[in-house]
Amino acid sequence: MKQELTNDEYNKIVAKLRDVQDFPKAGIIFKDITPLLGSHEELNILMSHLVARYKDYRLDFIAGIDARGFIFGSILADRLGIGFVPIRKKGKLPYDTICEQYSLEYGTDEVEVHIDAFGLNDGARVLLIDDLMATGGTAKAACELIEKTGALCVECCFIIELDFLNGREKLGNYNVYSVMKF
């Protein structure tokens, strides 16, 4: 399998994104992935691309950020034959967890993961995935959370990156890959 998308494949995926004006608040243009999820052909192009990219990374787990990261992460984990771990908003996981706090425009929020999510041995190789990176705060907290468990965040993968918000800067030394940038 090839690792890079052709221009035709890229354009097919981009064509399945929908811009929603003034969501979730006035002045925001929301990049809606639901048309992509509803299209078997384009979703398959995207997931085949990600499998080709990550098949040789020797990953142990895919970690997906609540909630749309769960969709892409679980599909990718299944296709790679490895485990999937959800990184959830605080208070959503039923077992013992560890948390990481991050800053929002007005206040803070937290993400959490089960303490044994990546096994009991240190050094599990984890790919973090989410649908979109904006400012990078949630992704950075998720990376730090992965590493608090003793695992290694090998790379952060985003389907969409809003590069004008400079989220990569917040992620510092973490490797970042984005399929599409706007």
From CA 35, how far away is CA 37, in angstroms rounded? 5
Domain count, the chain: 1
Choose the catalytic residue: 9, 68, 79, 125.
Answer: 68
Range of the domain at 97: 57-181
Q: Is residue 50 part of a domain?
A: no
Residue 79 is a catalytic residue: no
CATH code for position 138: 3.40.50.2020
Residue 68 is a catalytic residue: yes
Terminal alpha carbon distance of the chain: 26
Q: Is residue 127 part of a domain?
A: yes
Is pTM, for the whole model, over 0.75?
yes
Tens of pLDDT, residue by residue, the chain (182 residues): 457 899 999 999 999 999 999 999 999 999 999 999 999 999 999 999 999 999 999 999 999 999 999 999 999 999 999 999 999 999 999 999 999 999 876 778 999 999 999 987 789 999 999 999 999 999 999 999 999 999 999 999 999 999 999 999 999 999 999 999 99
Q: Is residue 11 part of a domain?
A: no
Choose the catalytic residue: 18, 42, 105, 110.
Answer: 105
Q: Is residue 5 part of a domain?
A: no
Backbone angles phi and psi of 81, in degrees to 5? 70, 35
